[in-house]
Structure 1
Amino acid sequence: MATTPELIDRPRVLVVGGGYVGLYVALKLQKKIANAGGIVTVVDPLPYMTYQPFLPEVAGGNIEARHAVISHRQHLKQTELIQGRVTSIDHQNRTAVVAPADGGEPFEIPYFDVVVAAGAITRTFPIKGLADEGIGLKTIEEAVALRNKVLERIELASTMTNAAERAKALTFVVVGGGFAGIECITEMEDLARAAVKNNSRVRQEEVRFVLVEAMGRIMPEVTAAQAEWVVEHLRSRGIEVLLNTSLDNAEGSLKLINLPDKTPAQEFEADTLVWTAGVQANPMIRSTDFPLEPRGRVRVLPDLRIAGDEGIIDNAWAAGDIAAVPDLTGSGLPDGTCVPNAQHALRQAKRLAKNLWASRWDKPMADYKHKNLGAVAGFGEWKGVANINILGRIGLKGGLAWLAHRGYHGLAIPTGERKVRVIFNWLLGMTMGRDTTQLLDLDNPRGAFVAAATPAPKPAAAPAPAAEPAEAKAPVTADAK
């Protein structure tokens, strides 16, 4: 174990993760804890929080990528920030092990309170070829890569003459029919339409989008009637919707199977495979001494304190996707816990910060209870679906649902400056159109410089001309003497 780097030596509230929960807990507590003589420390491998509901719009080119993330340094001025990953927690001894993001030696960090807010990661299955061919939609980097790949594939296909290779380049597959998958495929389809309009060598009917969903319906967050309307809407845009279908193999051609009878469904080639089939609790929680429930989430009480069979664990808190937070409204998951979404995470963070501060002064703490306000989804410009639970259930679709989606998330993204940037993104897009400029070589930014700085090979010396054969001399005769 490496020597602990120079850290502020005060009673520490250690926040594991800088996502929704981590950012808001730090925002709400940093000044109070500092004034009380302590310090809030956030450990996260990234220097920003990602507002994940905006990832489909980043992939579709409607929002600038940097505007969908919130800088820790810019907004957590009184918080100690460590760019790294907590790999284990020993709560009995109040220490955590941190692996620096730069690959340096891990070190221990002591704390007084710990807030487990490491969120969730993409849930995958052992499907051949998935790790090599697929991409998720959980990070800002994945969203940017998707946007560029859609544009790059269309541009590349426009000069292809091989029909099979051209069809492969213009085929885009999304696995997962939840909110993330539906919003992803519709935003990508909108982006592709805009790109095709600017390229006369590609026809819209050549571009193929396929949605693969293992269940018999999509979007469980909305009503069955709304889900059926969404399927009709997708198909009206030329998007193939395959229900009760699973991806069986991604090596070479994609192989799909019908789940009811386990028979082959389709087999085709695609250059783009997006995986949005669910999330799971960050596996780092398994390297702690905290109690877990069957799905791998840490067990908490309604007041967000970690608790096991033996009772409450003092000075330990958790919220968000990594925690099994009881849903006291009765409208959550079948196991009685809150749905893992941004709406709950943001509100749980605020309640956790209030309760942690109250615990410092032996004041009463309140339980987390929040009735789901509904669900809103955008399917590209002026298209969407919404299920709003205000003064009764209100179902919306089309342009009104799209406006509800943008209104809600425009207000929900943290910090005022990010709200302004996002709203101006939208206004520019509505007045000037979608930006379909492709950014090249983001995975190899030094390529052009390396090529320029590498001396060109010297041309090979021209081969010397072959010697001409000497002319035969006439023999000397007596007459010639």
Structure 2
Amino acid sequence: MTKRILVLGGGFAGVACTRKLESHFKHFSEVEISLVSEDNFLLFTPMLPQVASGTIETRHIVIPIRTICKKATFYEGRVKNIDPYGKRVALYGTNEKRGINLEYDYLVVALGSQTNFFGNQSVESNAYTMKTLNDAVVLRNRIIDMLEQAENERDPILKQSLLTFVVVGAGFAGIETAGEILDFLHDAKKHYPHISENDIKVVVLEALSIVLPGFSERLARFTRDKLIQRGVDIMLNTMVVSFDGSEVLIKDAVDPTRTAVKDPNMRSLQTKTLIWTAGVTPVDTIKNSMFKTDRGRVMVNEYLEVPDFPGVYVIGDCSLTIDPSTGKPYPPTAQNAEAEAKTAAYNLHATISGKTKSKIDHVSKGQMAIIGKRTAIAHIGGMNIHGFVAWCIWRTVYLRKIPKLNKRLRVLLDWTADLLFDRDISRLKIIRKDQPIDYKELDEVDDVW
């Protein structure tokens, strides 16, 4: 009897799980594997800030899913809803194609996350984000647009606001984005004779009292000192109140465990560009599903299986997976997503083959972050490394993680060209069409045939 395994999500978790399933079941003709993703490519997100800064070409960090998942049937589409009782998943239709229903025997949910604005509507409406490939391209165009406008601006106050770039969030994405933006601005200013280094301002806002939480205090301090030395203004214990596209209103962050003795100090920054990297949250499809969630993430057992629905596994950013060594949830990182994908694939193979399932027991191999200007930090094998050596390690490790050799070579060539030539400052005008509307699902259309 045919067993149907359906994987939802084309990110690190979904693609890694699909590839492992293909390996486990390569000699099982009775097992059908299907993968659903909104995009037909895997986005290598660690290098996204380098796309925004023009260091790497856009196409070089996307790997077509069909070239790395050969056995699985691939569906490009967006998940509309998940019915774990009927074991069915509905995909949205568009004006080009009809929506369809996919039935399964086993399900792996790896739908990832979306940007979390914490209910701040003004920020959501006016801020730039760094989550998708489109975000990186749009941000790069925005930076170049600000340089072009500031070059011939005679009002010093307006010119300063055009050249002030505010990054909210001092985690991995925020710090790496700030470093890349600063590098790009300093390299590009040579083409703008009326813009000096003193005109350029990059500000990082963080609600916590530290940068890069999760790293050792020594590496976090090194990162902060290095960025400040290079000219980045880091404002800790600072929260964003609102942003209208021209002014960001901020206030002092208040520790919720303590009683405030006075009202937070409210002030403002004049900027035309605010980049929001302050957090992620599971996608709405997960939040609106029948699964039990905690802060939007699906609660799973030690086998990564949803207790109420045997045969349904949830992995990656949308899974609340507990680290047995710490008793705390695993952080939403690509490394953890791939580890969970490996465990889920093994457990599916064990279930179908009648073997014993394995519990999740992933130990982090380390952490790395690039902070610009050929400088990085790394915590590997219990050692704290920073500076140029850490930068070389970062590039070596992530280059090896790219699944396709041709993409590795293209990225390597981009890095080499960056050492030899100036970055391109052409601004690409991209006009997006309206989103296609949703059409009826296939089985509903069938009723009238």
* TM score, norm. by length of structure 2: 0.89
Deviation of the 1:225 alpha carbon: 2.4
Pairs within 5 Å for 1:2-41 = 11-30=3-22, 32=25, 35-41=28-34
1:230 aligns with 2:212: no
Task: Give me the identity figure in percent.
Answer: 28
Q: Cα 1:176–1:262, aligned 2, differ >3 Å: closer, same or farther? A: farther
Determine which of 45, 52, 67 is the counterpart of 1:59.
52
Which structure 2 segments of 5+ residues have no match?
255-261, 434-449
Determine which of 377, 396, 421 is the counterpart of 1:407.
396
Paired residue type of 1:40: I
Deviates more, 1:113-122 or 1:43-52: 43-52
SS of 2:306's equivalent? strand
Contact conserved, 1:89 with 1:287, CA < 8 A, in 2?
no
Q: Cα 1:352–1:420, aligned 2, differ >3 Å: closer, same or farther? A: farther
In the aligned structure 1, how far is the partner of 2:181 from the partner of 2:422? Answer: 12
Determine which of 345, 362, 365 is the counterpart of 2:357.
365
Q: Cα 1:213–1:94, aligned 2, differ >3 Å: closer, same or farther? A: same
In the aligned structure 2, how far is the partner of 1:425 from the partner of 1:107? Answer: 40
Contact conserved, 1:245 with 1:256, CA < 8 A, in 2?
yes
1:259 aligns with 2:247: no
Deviation of the 1:227 alpha carbon: 1.5
Paired residue type of 1:155: E
Pairs within 5 Å for 1:48-447 = 48-100=41-93, 105-251=98-244, 252-260=246-254, 261-292=262-293, 294-308=294-308, 313-330=309-326, 336-388=328-380, 390=381, 393-430=382-419, 432-443=420-431
Alignment length (residue pairs): 424
Paired residue type of 2:285: M
Deviates more, 1:94-103 or 1:247-256: 94-103
Paired residue type of 1:281: P
Paired residue type of 2:268: E
Paired residue type of 1:116: V
Deviation of the 1:11 alpha carbon: 3.9
Contact conserved, 1:17 with 1:42, CA < 8 A, in 2?
yes
Q: Cα 1:140–1:411, aligned 2, differ >3 Å: closer, same or farther? A: same
Contact conserved, 2:212 with 2:220, CA < 8 A, in 1?
yes
Between structure 1 and structure 2, the one with the greater Rg is 1
Q: Cα 1:221–1:434, aligned 2, differ >3 Å: closer, same or farther? A: farther
Q: Cα 1:29–1:417, aligned 2, differ >3 Å: closer, same or farther? A: farther
Contact conserved, 1:34 with 1:40, CA < 8 A, in 2?
no
Contact conserved, 2:223 with 2:371, CA < 8 A, in 1?
no
Contact conserved, 1:85 with 1:101, CA < 8 A, in 2?
no
Contact conserved, 1:27 with 1:76, CA < 8 A, in 2?
yes
* 4+ aligned runs moved over 6 Å, structure 1: none
Paired residue type of 1:304: L
Paired residue type of 2:399: G
Deviation of the 1:137 alpha carbon: 0.6
SS of 1:314's equivalent? coil
In the aligned structure 1, how far is the partner of 2:15 from the partner of 2:218? Answer: 37
In the aligned structure 1, how far is the partner of 2:27 from the partner of 2:56? Answer: 35
In the aligned structure 1, how far is the partner of 2:5 from the partner of 2:27? Answer: 10
* TM score, norm. by length of structure 1: 0.83
Deviation of the 1:329 alpha carbon: 3.0
Paired residue type of 1:188: I
Deviation of the 1:104 alpha carbon: 5.1
Paired residue type of 2:274: L
Which structure 1 segments of 5+ residues have no match?
1-8, 446-481
In the aligned structure 2, how far is the partner of 1:349 from the partner of 1:71? Answer: 19
Contact conserved, 2:179 with 2:373, CA < 8 A, in 1?
no
In the aligned structure 2, how far is the partner of 1:258 from the partner of 1:336? Answer: 28
Contact conserved, 1:154 with 1:170, CA < 8 A, in 2?
yes
Deviation of the 1:66 alpha carbon: 1.3
SS of 2:292's equivalent? coil
SS of 2:377's equivalent? strand
Deviation of the 1:102 alpha carbon: 5.4
Determine which of 21, 36, 49 is the counterpart of 1:43.
36
In the aligned structure 2, how far is the partner of 1:10 from the partner of 1:434? Answer: 56
Deviation string for 1:93-129 (max 9, x for gaps)? 1111111365755332211111000011111123352
Deviation of the 1:428 alpha carbon: 2.5
Contact conserved, 1:177 with 1:218, CA < 8 A, in 2?
yes
Contact conserved, 1:185 with 1:211, CA < 8 A, in 2?
yes
Deviation string for 1:168-225 (max 9, x for gaps)? 2111000001111000001000000000123222101001111100011111121122
Contact conserved, 1:50 with 1:140, CA < 8 A, in 2?
yes
SS of 1:298's equivalent? strand
In the aligned structure 2, how far is the partner of 1:136 from the partner of 1:101? Answer: 26
Q: Cα 1:307–1:128, aligned 2, differ >3 Å: closer, same or farther? A: closer
Q: Cα 1:193–1:38, aligned 2, differ >3 Å: closer, same or farther? A: same
